[in-house]
Amino acid sequence: MPASGGVGRAGTAGAALAARGERWSPSPGTIVAALEGLLLVVFALLPLALQHFWVIFVTRVLILALLALSFDLVWGFAGIMSFGQALFFGAAGYTVALFARDAGVTSVFVVLPAALAVGLVLAFLVASFLLLGRNPPSITFVALGTLTGSYAGDRLARGWYYLGGQNGIPSIPPMTAGPVQLTEGVTYYYLALASLIAAYAACRFLVGSQLGLALAGIRINEARMAFFGYGVQSLKAIVFSVAGAIAGLSGGLYAFHEGFVWPNMLGVILSTQIVLYALFGGVGTLIGAVIGVIAIEIVSFVLADVYPTVWPIILGVLLLVVILFRPSGLISLLVPRRARVGIFGVGARRPGRIPEEAGDGAA
Amino acid sequence: MALLEATGVTKVFGRLTALSEVDFAVEEGQLHGLIGPNGSGKSTLLKCIAGAELPSGGRIRFLGRDITQATPSARARAGLSLTFQVTSVFPELSVYDNVLLALQAQNPLMALTFSRTRAGLHARVVEILAELRLADRGAAAAAALSHGEQQWLEIAMALASRPRLLLLDEPTGGMSVEERRATGALLVPLRRACSIVIVEHDLDFIREICDVLTVLDQGCVLETGTVEQIQKSRKVQEVYLTRV
Nearest-10 crossing angle of helices A28-49, A186-208:
170
Residue A243 has pLDDT above 70, yes or no: yes
Lowest mean pLDDT among A9-13, A345-349, B37-41, B130-134: A9-13
Residue B230 belongs to a domain with what CATH number?
3.40.50.300
Count CB neighbours of A242 within 10 A. Answer: 22
CB < 8 Å to A351, chain B: 139
% of chain A at pLDDT higher than 70:
87
What is the C-alpha separation between B106 and B122, in angstroms, rounded?
16
The answer to whether residue B138 sits within a structural domain is yes
Give residue A149's pLDDT band: very low, low, confident or very high (50, 70, 90): very high
* Residue range(s) defining the domain that contains residue B229: 4-239
Look at residue B86 in the predicted model and tell me its pLDDT: 74
Residue A10 has pLDDT above 50, yes or no: no
What is the C-alpha separation between B72 and B80, in angstroms, rounded?
9
Task: Give 10-residue mean pLDDT values along chain B (244 residues).
Answer: 89 90 90 87 90 91 91 91 84 92 91 89 90 87 88 89 89 84 85 87 82 89 87 78 48
- Reported as half-sphere exposure (CB side, CA atoms, 13 A), residue A119 has a value of 34
What is the C-alpha separation between A269 and A336, in angstroms, rounded?
31
- What is this structure's pTM? 0.86
CB < 8 Å to A344, chain B: 93, 97, 100, 118
The answer to whether residue B244 sits within a structural domain is no
Cβ–Cβ < 8 Å for A267, A90: yes
Nearest CA in chain A to B83: A227
The answer to whether residue B97 sits within a structural domain is yes
The answer to whether residue B30 sits within a structural domain is yes
CB distance A226–B88 less than 8 Å? no
Chains A, B: CB contacts under 8 A, how many? Answer: 121
CB < 8 Å to B94, chain A: 343, 345, 348
CA neighbor of A90 nearest in space, from A206, A288, A297, A247: A247
Number of H helices, E strands in chain A: 15, 2
The answer to whether residue B142 sits within a structural domain is yes
Domains, chain A, in order of start with CATH, read: 2-15+27-341 (1.10.3470)
CB distance A214–B77 less than 8 Å? no
Length of chain B in residues, anyone? 244
Give the mutation candidate from B99, B136, B162 for the A interface (greatest A CB count, under 10 A): B136
* Distance of alpha carbon B102 from the chain centroid: 15
More confident: A237 or A362: A237
The residues pairing with A22 across neighbouring beta strands, listed in sequence order, are: none
CA dist A6 → A10, A30, A34, A42 (Å): 6, 11, 7, 11
Give the closest-approach CA distance of B83 to chain A in angstroms: 9
What is the C-alpha separation between B85 and A93, in angstroms, rounded?
51
CB < 8 Å to A225, chain B: 105
- Reported as half-sphere exposure (CB side, CA atoms, 13 A), residue B142 has a value of 27
Give residue A3's pLDDT band: very low, low, confident or very high (50, 70, 90): very low
Give the mutation candidate from A210, A350, A356 for the B interface (greatest B CB count, under 10 A): A210
Q: Per-residue pLDDT averaged across A322-335, rounded?
A: 86
The verdict on A218 touching B (C-beta cutoff 8 Å) is: no
CB distance A354–B138 less than 8 Å? yes
- One-letter amino acid for residue B229 of the chain: Q
Give the mutation candidate from B113, B121, B168 for the A interface (greatest A CB count, under 10 A): B113
CA neighbor of A69 nearest in space, from A201, A200, A220, A213: A200
Question: Looking at chain A from residue 116 to 145, which residues have their Cβ under 8 Å from any Cβ of chain B?
Answer: 134
The verdict on A232 touching B (C-beta cutoff 8 Å) is: yes
Give how many domains chain B has, as a whole number: 1
The answer to whether residue B13 sits within a structural domain is yes
The answer to whether residue B144 sits within a structural domain is yes
Question: Looking at chain A from residue 77 to 106, which residues have their Cβ under 8 Å from any Cβ of chain B?
Answer: none
Look at residue B161 in the predicted model and tell me its pLDDT: 80
Give the mutation candidate from B90, B95, B125, B134 for the A interface (greatest A CB count, under 10 A): B90
The residues pairing with A181 across neighbouring beta strands, listed in sequence order, are: A176
CB distance A354–B139 less than 8 Å? yes
Of B92, B96, B157, the CB nearest to A338: B92
pLDDT, tens only, B118-154: 888 999 999 999 988 888 888 888 988 988 889 899 9
Sequence-separated (6 or more) residues with CB below 8 Å from residue B103: B121, B124, B125, B128, B160, B161
- One-letter amino acid for residue B195 of the chain: S
pLDDT, tens only, A165-208: 999 999 899 999 988 889 888 999 999 999 999 999 999 999 99
The verdict on A216 touching B (C-beta cutoff 8 Å) is: yes
